[in-house]
Structure 1
């Protein structure tokens, strides 16, 4: 009798093992998970924000989000999430596909980058399942730690993704800064102490086509994190540049081949052709009144020493004693010159340059000796906040009435400078100044 019991128990155990093995290796089904709320309705991108991609970068086809991969950019949820279990399915169309799942992400990209500060779950063919921080975010790996790169990375204990063309499932659980990722039914990656614990959920475009579907979330109780653990919120900024074209800009015939849109960046060689000087600048089609403008820029050429004038506290140039018409200069590294025009006014030019004075200077008003002294002085940056030549910088420009405030790389350099006579509304322009310059991450929020 005892022998028969042991045989029956063994048969049952063997059966359970076979069932478990079958379930572990069974293909991922398209059926909805038993719990959670759908983040994607299968029909359109309601609830999602195309942050910095072209209109056709993210499309819905047959219940699937189809990403072309161009330009590099991201699609994110329209609200933040903290503790949760997230399920989604994804597939690459061709071998070598690359993408990522962002979580605890900022609303906008970091300076000079196509992506936000976030934690990423990798969707790369050769490195699927790894977890790491990007653009200033961080974590502590718990599985197969890799610290060879610029950021610590938790790598998957085994590769479980299927070949291109087949669907894979990720189940991501994040709670109080601890994360685990299951790939096709098995937890393979763990990490702790994520630098952010609340933020947006995003999907990454990175040069290859990728598809997503069955995106669901089950929220867990909040832990009421402190502000420093919460990502940058959505403040209502709208992109002025789709990353691949000049839709929304007056791209004139003389601009062709000179003002070029490529992979999320505007490249200008400084050689636009037009008899009219202002037709060499790149102007928006729309006009704006009061607004906050975000613009990333850099001067990409190799700097060289050139003579630079010296600006006095009152806005005048220092002139030679024996020749009052000639400026005093000193050698300084120079990588070129450009600027941003506000409300259609070439006088309201925020300088982008290599001068000791620093970028953000409002040149047309600072040099106008008919302006009151206090107006001219207010147009001089209180500090040079430029990053080293060749690196990306970020302007945050606030225009209210005839007053403008300029924040450069997080430092306020111009505070409510008055610009008498500036139009109430007008377009915005990226300036031609004969030198190469690059722009990206152009966002605007109109103020009431």
Structure 2
């Protein structure tokens, strides 16, 4: 009689099935995404694509944070001659950085029709840090900046779809353009945060966005983006929708005072936190007034801050619901106006 030996293998973690890629976009609406600082019309769904008009400059981010992952996405610009700019943000904060519509993070460039004479950037898949984030390019940049220029040109022109595969793991990012790795960075900080699509001046289309999450490598608090705290934008970057008053105009994602009238929100703000960025002309007194929380307050240039630079004003509101009024002050500019209601 023959004898048989049956070997039983218990699956170890290393043998377990890898996580599957899942859609980042459902092909129907923007569920799972948050319009951080743009007009309601800036990002929309058409067919199975996410489309940005490019106006104003800003970003659409994911509802949740991601750490290590493999992301795939197709993108297409339609502008055939002028510079066509957009981007994919990795590990970014939920709010813009001070004095800019952009956010801190690592940007994977989505760009066409741009060839600067000094060669500091390309339209072929650059990766770089923005607004306080940090990274180390795989190849030193000729100007010493934190930007990896791609090893070869593989981007297709306007009207054609380009495929990006982005592998982000333990602070290392590798970008594959149309099937081949061309650029990378390491030592990224943050290395955990939100993902975002950028609006930057022109129409751009995105589709077939998927993500496969990889095991955590336990980033520290310092290596993690700021967590969303409920702030919602009170300014759409394009119009005075949501505001009343005379003597103000909109330009370059900013509210600008002519000095002839006050500006008031149509929304009443209750208990919570108000944030906005402001700048006065360098030769001004460097202060202005706001009426908020039932009180007239003077907003002053922070100590040691250079005149004419952007500052962020943050205030906890404790009173009953009331609008915010910004008093007229010639040359005053306001942007990134957010309010988070108390929980």
Fold shared by both chains (TM-score > 0.5): yes
Q: Which stretches in structure 1 are left out of the alignment for 5+ residues?
A: 1-33, 272-279, 304-333, 353-357, 360-383, 402-423
State the 4+ residue runs in structure 1 displaced beyond 3 angstroms: 334-337
Contact 2:42 2:55 in 1 (8 A): yes
1:190 & 1:110 partners in 2: Cα distance?
Answer: 24
Map residues 7-26 of structure 1 onto 2, 5 A cutoff. none
Query: What SS is found at the alignment partner of 2:226?
Result: coil
User: Which structure: larger Rg?
Assistant: 1
Find 1:122's aligned residue among 109, 112, 118. Answer: 109
Map residues 291-306 of structure 1 onto 2, 5 A cutoff. 291-300=272-281, 302-303=282-283
1:338, distance to aligned residue in structure 2 (A): 2.0
2:289 maps to: 339
Find 1:429's aligned residue among 316, 322, 325. Answer: 325
- Structure 1 residue 239 corresponds to structure 2 residue 186: no
Contact 1:162 1:168 in 2 (8 A): yes
Aligned residue pair count? 314
More helix by share: 1
1:77, distance to aligned residue in structure 2 (A): 0.3
Map residues 309-388 of structure 1 onto 2, 5 A cutoff. 334-335=284-285, 337-343=287-293, 345=294, 348-352=295-299, 358-359=300-301, 384-385=302-303, 387-388=305-306
How big is each residue's C-alpha offset from its partner over 1:102-145, in whole Å with a ceiling of 9 and x where there is no partner? 001011000001111000011111323111100011111113x2
Q: Which stretches in structure 2 are left out of the alignment for 5+ residues?
A: 1-18, 115-121
- Structure 1 residue 267 corresponds to structure 2 residue 238: no
1:336, distance to aligned residue in structure 2 (A): 5.2
Higher-RCO chain (CA-CA 8 Å, sequence separation at least 6): 2
- CA gap of 1:297–1:183, structure 2 versus 1, over 3 A, is same
Query: What SS is found at the alignment partner of 2:298?
Result: strand
1:73 & 1:80 partners in 2: Cα distance?
Answer: 18
- Structure 1 residue 208 corresponds to structure 2 residue 202: yes
Contact 1:386 1:393 in 2 (8 A): no
2:89 maps to: 102
- CA gap of 1:205–1:386, structure 2 versus 1, over 3 A, is farther
Normalising by structure 2, we get a TM-score of: 0.88
1:192, distance to aligned residue in structure 2 (A): 1.0
How big is each residue's C-alpha offset from its partner over 1:167-225, in whole Å with a ceiling of 9 and x where there is no partner? 00100001101111000000111221112110000111111111001110000001111
1:87, distance to aligned residue in structure 2 (A): 0.4
Normalising by structure 1, we get a TM-score of: 0.68
1:249, distance to aligned residue in structure 2 (A): 1.1
1:26 maps to: none
Query: What SS is found at the alignment partner of 2:41?
Result: coil
2:312 & 2:304 partners in 1: Cα distance?
Answer: 9
- CA gap of 1:386–1:349, structure 2 versus 1, over 3 A, is farther
More strand by share: 2
Find 1:113's aligned residue among 100, 123, 126. Answer: 100
